[in-house]
Amino acid sequence: MRRALLLTVLLLPSALMAQDRTATLADIRLQLRALSTEIQGLKRELEPRLREVAPPGALVARIGGDEFAMIIEERALGERSSEIAEACIEAASRPIEFHGMKLAVGASVGIAHLSAQSQGQDADRLLADADIALYQAKEAGRGRLALFDGEARDSLEKQADLEFELALGLEYGEFVPFLQPQVDAVTGEVIGAEVLARWMSPSRGLLTPGAFLQSLRNPELEERITYAVRAAALDWMSRSEAGRPPAISINLSSTELTRVDCASDMDWELTMRGLSARKVSIEVLEDVVIHENDTEMERTISALRAAGHPLELDDFGTGNSGLANLVRLSVEQLKIDRSFISGIDADRSRQAIVQAMIGIGQALNIKVLAEGVETDAERKMLVSLGCTRMQGFHFARPMDTGSFERWMASRSAAA
Protein backbone atom coordinates (compact mmCIF):
# COMPACT_ATOMS: atom_id res chain seq x y z
CA MET A 1 0.00 0.00 0.00
CA ARG A 2 2.78 2.45 0.94
CA ARG A 3 4.56 1.75 -2.33
CA ALA A 4 1.41 2.55 -4.28
CA LEU A 5 0.93 5.83 -2.42
CA LEU A 6 4.54 6.85 -3.00
CA LEU A 7 4.19 6.02 -6.68
CA THR A 8 1.13 8.23 -6.92
CA VAL A 9 2.91 11.11 -5.21
CA LEU A 10 5.96 10.75 -7.40
CA LEU A 11 4.07 10.62 -10.68
CA LEU A 12 1.59 13.40 -10.00
CA PRO A 13 3.99 16.39 -10.12
CA SER A 14 5.45 15.51 -13.50
CA ALA A 15 1.98 14.99 -14.90
CA LEU A 16 0.73 18.32 -13.56
CA MET A 17 3.73 20.23 -14.78
CA ALA A 18 3.37 18.77 -18.22
CA GLN A 19 -0.07 20.41 -18.34
CA ASP A 20 0.91 23.83 -16.96
CA ARG A 21 4.45 25.13 -17.08
CA THR A 22 3.59 28.13 -14.84
CA ALA A 23 2.47 26.15 -11.80
CA THR A 24 4.36 25.84 -8.53
CA LEU A 25 4.22 22.58 -6.60
CA ALA A 26 4.48 22.20 -2.85
CA ASP A 27 4.99 19.05 -0.83
CA ILE A 28 3.74 19.60 2.73
CA ARG A 29 5.08 16.70 4.79
CA LEU A 30 3.47 16.15 8.19
CA GLN A 31 4.55 13.74 10.91
CA LEU A 32 2.56 13.06 14.04
CA ARG A 33 4.25 13.21 17.41
CA ALA A 34 2.40 11.12 20.00
CA LEU A 35 2.50 7.57 21.23
CA SER A 36 -1.22 7.33 20.69
CA THR A 37 -0.74 7.64 16.95
CA GLU A 38 0.20 3.97 16.93
CA ILE A 39 -3.53 3.29 17.22
CA GLN A 40 -4.82 2.76 13.70
CA GLY A 41 -8.14 4.45 14.45
CA LEU A 42 -6.39 7.73 15.20
CA LYS A 43 -4.63 7.70 11.86
CA ARG A 44 -7.89 7.11 10.04
CA GLU A 45 -9.38 10.05 11.95
CA LEU A 46 -6.60 12.43 10.96
CA GLU A 47 -6.54 11.92 7.20
CA PRO A 48 -10.06 13.40 6.68
CA ARG A 49 -9.03 16.42 8.79
CA LEU A 50 -6.11 17.07 6.50
CA ARG A 51 -8.32 16.77 3.45
CA GLU A 52 -10.62 19.42 4.96
CA VAL A 53 -7.84 22.01 5.10
CA ALA A 54 -6.27 21.01 1.78
CA PRO A 55 -6.98 23.22 -1.26
CA PRO A 56 -9.11 21.81 -4.11
CA GLY A 57 -7.16 19.39 -6.28
CA ALA A 58 -4.48 18.70 -3.67
CA LEU A 59 -3.36 15.13 -3.07
CA VAL A 60 -3.36 13.99 0.55
CA ALA A 61 -1.85 10.59 1.31
CA ARG A 62 -0.53 8.72 4.30
CA ILE A 63 2.86 7.50 3.14
CA GLY A 64 3.61 5.15 5.99
CA GLY A 65 3.70 4.98 9.77
CA ASP A 66 2.66 8.32 11.20
CA GLU A 67 3.65 10.42 8.17
CA PHE A 68 1.38 12.16 5.67
CA ALA A 69 2.12 14.08 2.47
CA MET A 70 0.10 16.80 0.76
CA ILE A 71 0.93 17.76 -2.84
CA ILE A 72 -0.42 21.14 -3.95
CA GLU A 73 -0.31 22.78 -7.39
CA GLU A 74 -1.07 26.48 -7.70
CA ARG A 75 0.14 29.28 -9.93
CA ALA A 76 0.94 31.72 -7.12
CA LEU A 77 1.44 29.48 -4.14
CA GLY A 78 4.03 31.58 -2.32
CA GLU A 79 3.40 32.05 1.39
CA ARG A 80 0.05 30.30 1.12
CA SER A 81 1.81 26.96 1.62
CA SER A 82 2.85 28.09 5.12
CA GLU A 83 -0.76 29.05 5.90
CA ILE A 84 -1.92 25.61 4.77
CA ALA A 85 0.80 23.97 6.85
CA GLU A 86 -0.31 25.90 9.94
CA ALA A 87 -3.86 24.72 9.28
CA CYS A 88 -2.56 21.13 9.08
CA ILE A 89 -0.86 21.46 12.46
CA GLU A 90 -4.01 22.93 13.98
CA ALA A 91 -6.17 20.17 12.48
CA ALA A 92 -3.86 17.44 13.74
CA SER A 93 -3.56 18.99 17.20
CA ARG A 94 -7.29 19.06 18.02
CA PRO A 95 -8.13 16.39 20.63
CA ILE A 96 -9.49 13.13 19.22
CA GLU A 97 -12.32 11.18 20.82
CA PHE A 98 -11.25 7.57 21.14
CA HIS A 99 -13.21 5.01 23.20
CA GLY A 100 -14.52 7.72 25.49
CA MET A 101 -11.12 9.37 25.96
CA LYS A 102 -9.76 12.63 24.56
CA LEU A 103 -6.31 12.05 23.14
CA ALA A 104 -3.87 14.82 22.19
CA VAL A 105 -1.78 14.49 19.03
CA GLY A 106 0.98 16.89 17.99
CA ALA A 107 2.51 17.33 14.55
CA SER A 108 5.56 18.75 12.82
CA VAL A 109 5.49 19.95 9.20
CA GLY A 110 8.12 20.37 6.52
CA ILE A 111 7.47 22.31 3.29
CA ALA A 112 9.27 22.18 -0.05
CA HIS A 113 8.52 23.96 -3.34
CA LEU A 114 9.25 23.01 -6.93
CA SER A 115 8.88 25.70 -9.58
CA ALA A 116 7.87 24.77 -13.13
CA GLN A 117 10.81 26.83 -14.35
CA SER A 118 13.29 24.88 -12.25
CA GLN A 119 15.84 23.10 -14.39
CA GLY A 120 17.20 19.67 -13.51
CA GLN A 121 14.73 19.14 -10.67
CA ASP A 122 11.99 16.54 -10.42
CA ALA A 123 9.47 15.03 -8.07
CA ASP A 124 12.15 12.93 -6.36
CA ARG A 125 13.96 16.11 -5.34
CA LEU A 126 10.68 17.65 -4.11
CA LEU A 127 10.08 14.67 -1.83
CA ALA A 128 13.67 14.66 -0.59
CA ASP A 129 13.57 18.40 0.13
CA ALA A 130 10.29 18.02 2.05
CA ASP A 131 11.88 15.26 4.14
CA ILE A 132 14.78 17.56 5.00
CA ALA A 133 12.40 20.35 5.99
CA LEU A 134 10.39 17.90 8.13
CA TYR A 135 13.57 16.85 9.89
CA GLN A 136 14.33 20.51 10.67
CA ALA A 137 10.82 21.02 12.02
CA LYS A 138 11.10 18.01 14.33
CA GLU A 139 14.47 19.24 15.61
CA ALA A 140 12.83 22.59 16.48
CA GLY A 141 10.15 20.91 18.60
CA ARG A 142 6.52 19.91 18.66
CA GLY A 143 4.02 21.88 16.58
CA ARG A 144 6.65 23.58 14.39
CA LEU A 145 6.94 23.97 10.64
CA ALA A 146 10.03 24.49 8.53
CA LEU A 147 10.48 25.64 4.95
CA PHE A 148 13.19 23.88 2.97
CA ASP A 149 16.29 25.85 2.09
CA GLY A 150 19.36 24.78 0.16
CA GLU A 151 21.64 25.27 3.15
CA ALA A 152 19.80 22.51 4.99
CA ARG A 153 20.45 20.10 2.13
CA ASP A 154 24.12 21.08 2.05
CA SER A 155 24.33 20.56 5.81
CA LEU A 156 22.81 17.09 5.63
CA GLU A 157 25.05 16.14 2.72
CA LYS A 158 28.08 17.24 4.74
CA GLN A 159 26.74 15.23 7.67
CA ALA A 160 26.43 12.16 5.45
CA ASP A 161 30.00 12.69 4.18
CA LEU A 162 31.25 13.01 7.76
CA GLU A 163 29.50 9.82 8.86
CA PHE A 164 31.00 7.97 5.90
CA GLU A 165 34.49 9.20 6.85
CA LEU A 166 33.91 8.27 10.49
CA ALA A 167 32.87 4.75 9.53
CA LEU A 168 36.00 4.44 7.38
CA GLY A 169 38.08 5.82 10.24
CA LEU A 170 36.81 3.05 12.49
CA GLU A 171 37.83 0.44 9.96
CA TYR A 172 41.34 1.92 9.65
CA GLY A 173 41.90 2.51 13.38
CA GLU A 174 42.00 6.30 13.18
CA PHE A 175 40.32 6.85 16.58
CA VAL A 176 42.88 6.85 19.36
CA PRO A 177 43.05 7.65 23.07
CA PHE A 178 44.86 10.77 24.22
CA LEU A 179 45.62 11.19 27.91
CA GLN A 180 45.83 14.31 30.05
CA PRO A 181 47.74 13.84 33.31
CA GLN A 182 46.25 14.57 36.71
CA VAL A 183 48.82 15.63 39.30
CA ASP A 184 49.28 16.51 42.91
CA ALA A 185 50.25 20.17 42.60
CA VAL A 186 52.29 20.11 45.83
CA THR A 187 54.31 16.91 45.45
CA GLY A 188 54.30 16.78 41.65
CA GLU A 189 53.15 13.14 41.76
CA VAL A 190 51.08 11.88 38.80
CA ILE A 191 47.86 10.59 40.38
CA GLY A 192 45.93 9.65 37.24
CA ALA A 193 45.05 10.54 33.66
CA GLU A 194 41.82 11.30 31.82
CA VAL A 195 41.20 9.41 28.57
CA LEU A 196 40.11 11.69 25.72
CA ALA A 197 39.08 10.66 22.19
CA ARG A 198 40.94 11.96 19.15
CA TRP A 199 40.39 11.37 15.45
CA MET A 200 43.58 11.20 13.39
CA SER A 201 41.88 11.90 10.07
CA PRO A 202 44.09 11.71 6.94
CA SER A 203 42.13 14.53 5.29
CA ARG A 204 41.00 16.68 8.25
CA GLY A 205 43.95 16.35 10.61
CA LEU A 206 43.85 15.71 14.36
CA LEU A 207 40.36 16.46 15.70
CA THR A 208 38.82 16.63 19.17
CA PRO A 209 35.33 15.17 19.84
CA GLY A 210 33.79 18.62 19.57
CA ALA A 211 34.63 18.64 15.87
CA PHE A 212 33.09 15.28 15.00
CA LEU A 213 30.91 13.88 17.80
CA GLN A 214 28.76 16.82 18.89
CA SER A 215 27.08 17.11 15.47
CA LEU A 216 26.85 13.35 14.97
CA ARG A 217 23.25 12.11 14.79
CA ASN A 218 24.10 8.42 14.56
CA PRO A 219 24.08 6.98 18.11
CA GLU A 220 25.33 3.57 16.97
CA LEU A 221 28.36 5.10 15.22
CA GLU A 222 29.11 7.29 18.23
CA GLU A 223 28.98 4.26 20.53
CA ARG A 224 31.37 2.32 18.28
CA ILE A 225 33.85 5.22 18.29
CA THR A 226 33.66 5.51 22.09
CA TYR A 227 34.19 1.78 22.47
CA ALA A 228 37.19 1.77 20.10
CA VAL A 229 38.93 4.55 22.06
CA ARG A 230 38.18 2.91 25.41
CA ALA A 231 39.40 -0.49 24.22
CA ALA A 232 42.65 1.01 22.94
CA ALA A 233 43.22 2.79 26.27
CA LEU A 234 42.60 -0.40 28.24
CA ASP A 235 44.91 -2.36 25.93
CA TRP A 236 47.64 0.20 26.54
CA MET A 237 47.18 0.08 30.32
CA SER A 238 47.36 -3.73 30.31
CA ARG A 239 50.61 -4.05 28.34
CA SER A 240 52.97 -2.64 30.97
CA GLU A 241 53.19 -0.61 34.14
CA ALA A 242 56.12 1.47 32.93
CA GLY A 243 55.11 4.91 31.73
CA ARG A 244 51.52 4.43 32.88
CA PRO A 245 49.52 6.48 35.39
CA PRO A 246 48.25 4.75 38.55
CA ALA A 247 44.72 4.87 37.06
CA ILE A 248 42.80 6.25 34.10
CA SER A 249 39.41 7.97 34.00
CA ILE A 250 36.92 7.14 31.27
CA ASN A 251 33.61 8.84 30.62
CA LEU A 252 30.36 6.88 30.36
CA SER A 253 27.37 8.60 28.76
CA SER A 254 23.82 8.42 30.08
CA THR A 255 22.98 6.11 27.16
CA GLU A 256 25.70 3.65 28.18
CA LEU A 257 24.71 3.83 31.85
CA THR A 258 21.11 2.88 31.08
CA ARG A 259 22.15 -0.32 29.27
CA VAL A 260 21.42 -3.33 31.45
CA ASP A 261 24.70 -4.99 30.46
CA CYS A 262 26.96 -1.94 30.93
CA ALA A 263 28.55 -3.07 34.21
CA SER A 264 28.97 -6.71 33.12
CA ASP A 265 30.49 -5.61 29.80
CA MET A 266 32.99 -3.41 31.62
CA ASP A 267 33.86 -6.27 33.97
CA TRP A 268 34.48 -8.55 30.96
CA GLU A 269 36.67 -5.93 29.26
CA LEU A 270 38.87 -5.66 32.34
CA THR A 271 38.99 -9.39 33.09
CA MET A 272 40.16 -10.29 29.59
CA ARG A 273 43.03 -7.79 30.00
CA GLY A 274 43.91 -8.66 33.58
CA LEU A 275 43.14 -5.14 34.83
CA SER A 276 41.81 -4.20 38.26
CA ALA A 277 38.66 -2.08 38.47
CA ARG A 278 40.55 0.32 40.75
CA LYS A 279 42.71 1.26 37.78
CA VAL A 280 39.69 2.52 35.81
CA SER A 281 37.67 5.38 37.28
CA ILE A 282 34.23 6.05 35.82
CA GLU A 283 33.49 9.68 35.01
CA VAL A 284 29.83 10.72 34.97
CA LEU A 285 28.60 14.21 34.10
CA GLU A 286 26.88 15.96 36.99
CA ASP A 287 23.59 16.31 35.12
CA VAL A 288 23.48 12.54 34.56
CA VAL A 289 23.20 11.66 38.25
CA ILE A 290 20.27 13.94 39.05
CA HIS A 291 17.81 11.43 37.56
CA GLU A 292 16.89 9.79 40.84
CA ASN A 293 13.96 7.96 39.22
CA ASP A 294 16.16 6.31 36.60
CA THR A 295 16.53 3.01 38.42
CA GLU A 296 18.44 1.32 35.59
CA MET A 297 21.10 4.03 35.57
CA GLU A 298 21.42 3.95 39.33
CA ARG A 299 21.62 0.15 39.28
CA THR A 300 24.46 0.34 36.74
CA ILE A 301 26.38 2.93 38.77
CA SER A 302 25.94 0.84 41.92
CA ALA A 303 27.19 -2.28 40.09
CA LEU A 304 30.26 -0.39 38.82
CA ARG A 305 31.02 0.88 42.31
CA ALA A 306 30.54 -2.61 43.78
CA ALA A 307 33.02 -3.96 41.24
CA GLY A 308 35.62 -1.53 42.58
CA HIS A 309 35.51 1.32 40.04
CA PRO A 310 36.00 4.76 41.61
CA LEU A 311 33.15 7.10 40.60
CA GLU A 312 34.02 10.67 39.59
CA LEU A 313 31.49 13.47 39.13
CA ASP A 314 32.63 15.52 36.13
CA ASP A 315 31.97 19.24 35.48
CA PHE A 316 30.89 19.71 39.09
CA GLY A 317 29.13 23.02 39.68
CA THR A 318 27.51 23.25 36.23
CA GLY A 319 24.50 21.01 36.91
CA ASN A 320 21.82 20.60 39.55
CA SER A 321 23.04 17.58 41.49
CA GLY A 322 21.98 17.59 45.13
CA LEU A 323 24.31 16.68 47.98
CA ALA A 324 22.16 13.61 48.66
CA ASN A 325 23.19 12.24 45.27
CA LEU A 326 26.87 12.49 46.18
CA VAL A 327 26.31 10.29 49.22
CA ARG A 328 23.75 7.97 47.62
CA LEU A 329 26.02 7.15 44.68
CA SER A 330 29.24 6.93 46.75
CA VAL A 331 31.06 9.50 44.62
CA GLU A 332 34.81 9.27 45.22
CA GLN A 333 35.98 12.44 43.45
CA LEU A 334 34.46 15.75 42.36
CA LYS A 335 35.97 17.44 39.31
CA ILE A 336 35.40 21.19 39.48
CA ASP A 337 34.55 22.53 36.04
CA ARG A 338 37.15 24.73 34.37
CA SER A 339 34.68 27.63 34.12
CA PHE A 340 35.19 28.18 37.86
CA ILE A 341 38.99 27.84 37.65
CA SER A 342 39.84 30.25 34.83
CA GLY A 343 41.13 33.48 36.36
CA ILE A 344 40.43 32.33 39.93
CA ASP A 345 43.60 34.01 41.18
CA ALA A 346 42.07 37.45 40.52
CA ASP A 347 38.36 36.76 41.06
CA ARG A 348 37.02 36.75 44.62
CA SER A 349 33.63 35.36 43.56
CA ARG A 350 35.24 32.33 41.93
CA GLN A 351 37.46 31.86 44.98
CA ALA A 352 34.41 31.82 47.28
CA ILE A 353 32.51 29.34 45.06
CA VAL A 354 35.45 26.98 44.67
CA GLN A 355 36.24 27.14 48.39
CA ALA A 356 32.64 26.10 49.08
CA MET A 357 32.98 23.17 46.67
CA ILE A 358 36.21 22.09 48.33
CA GLY A 359 34.45 22.33 51.70
CA ILE A 360 31.68 20.04 50.47
CA GLY A 361 34.25 17.49 49.40
CA GLN A 362 36.10 17.66 52.72
CA ALA A 363 32.87 17.39 54.73
CA LEU A 364 31.76 14.30 52.79
CA ASN A 365 35.27 12.78 52.58
CA ILE A 366 35.26 13.13 48.78
CA LYS A 367 38.41 14.02 46.84
CA VAL A 368 38.31 17.25 44.81
CA LEU A 369 40.18 17.85 41.53
CA ALA A 370 40.33 21.17 39.68
CA GLU A 371 40.09 20.99 35.88
CA GLY A 372 41.47 23.49 33.39
CA VAL A 373 44.37 24.88 35.43
CA GLU A 374 46.42 26.93 32.99
CA THR A 375 48.65 29.25 35.01
CA ASP A 376 50.90 28.99 38.05
CA ALA A 377 48.88 31.78 39.69
CA GLU A 378 45.75 29.61 39.44
CA ARG A 379 47.68 26.66 40.86
CA LYS A 380 48.90 28.63 43.85
CA MET A 381 45.43 30.01 44.59
CA LEU A 382 43.87 26.53 44.46
CA VAL A 383 46.52 25.17 46.83
CA SER A 384 45.82 28.03 49.25
CA LEU A 385 42.11 27.13 49.12
CA GLY A 386 42.85 23.51 49.98
CA CYS A 387 42.77 21.82 46.56
CA THR A 388 45.95 20.05 45.48
CA ARG A 389 44.61 17.62 42.84
CA MET A 390 44.72 19.32 39.43
CA GLN A 391 44.56 18.84 35.68
CA GLY A 392 45.20 21.33 32.89
CA PHE A 393 47.54 22.84 30.34
CA HIS A 394 49.76 24.25 33.10
CA PHE A 395 50.92 20.69 33.77
CA ALA A 396 50.52 19.02 30.38
CA ARG A 397 48.30 19.02 27.31
CA PRO A 398 46.49 15.85 26.23
CA MET A 399 48.93 13.54 24.42
CA ASP A 400 48.95 10.20 22.65
CA THR A 401 50.06 7.10 24.55
CA GLY A 402 53.61 7.15 23.18
CA SER A 403 54.07 10.80 24.14
CA PHE A 404 52.60 10.10 27.56
CA GLU A 405 55.18 7.35 28.18
CA ARG A 406 58.00 9.72 27.17
CA TRP A 407 56.55 12.48 29.37
CA MET A 408 56.47 10.10 32.33
CA ALA A 409 60.04 8.97 31.62
CA SER A 410 61.32 12.56 31.51
CA ARG A 411 59.70 13.30 34.89
CA SER A 412 61.29 10.19 36.39
CA ALA A 413 64.71 11.22 35.02
CA ALA A 414 64.34 14.73 36.43
CA ALA A 415 63.24 13.52 39.86
Ordered structural domains, the chain, with CATH: 2-148 (3.30.70.270), 160-414 (3.20.20.450)
**pLDDT band at residue 10 under the 50/70/90 scheme:** very low
List pLDDT tens digits, range 288-341.
Answer: 665 545 678 888 999 999 999 999 988 786 666 667 778 888 899 999 999 999
* Predicted TM-score (pTM) above 0.75: no
Residue 21 pLDDT: 37
Is 50 exceeded by the pLDDT of residue 173? yes
pLDDT band at residue 41 under the 50/70/90 scheme: low
User: Which 3 state secondary structure label does DSSP give 72?
Assistant: strand
Alpha-carbon Rg for the chain, nearest whole angstrom, is: 28
Q: With bands split at pLDDT 50, 70 and 90, how would you rate the model's confidence at 121?
A: low
Phi (first) and psi of residue 316, to 5 degrees: -60, 135
| pLDDT tens figures, 352-376 | 999 999 999 999 999 999 999 999 9
Q: Are 108 and 57 in contact (CB under 8 A)?
A: no
Nearest to 29 by CA among 138, 117, 104: 138
pLDDT number for residue 180: 98
Give percent above pLDDT 90 in the chain.
Answer: 45
For residue 136, the model assigns a pLDDT of 79
Pick the residue with more confidence: 259 or 96?
259
Q: Which residue has the higher pLDDT, 262 or 216?
A: 262
Residue 8 pLDDT more than 50?
no
Strands (E) across 252-317 are located at 280-285, 311-316
pLDDT, residue 35, reads 41
Q: What is the pLDDT of residues 377-390, one digit of tens each?
A: 999 999 999 999 99
Where is 192: in which H helix or E strand? strand 190-201
For range 260-286, the mean pLDDT: 94
Per-residue pLDDT tens for 140-155? 777 788 878 777 677 7
The overall longest dimension of the chain from CA atoms, in Å, is 86
The mean pLDDT value for 19-34 works out to 52
Residue 25 has pLDDT above 60, yes or no: no
**Residue 133 vs residue 181, higher pLDDT:** 181
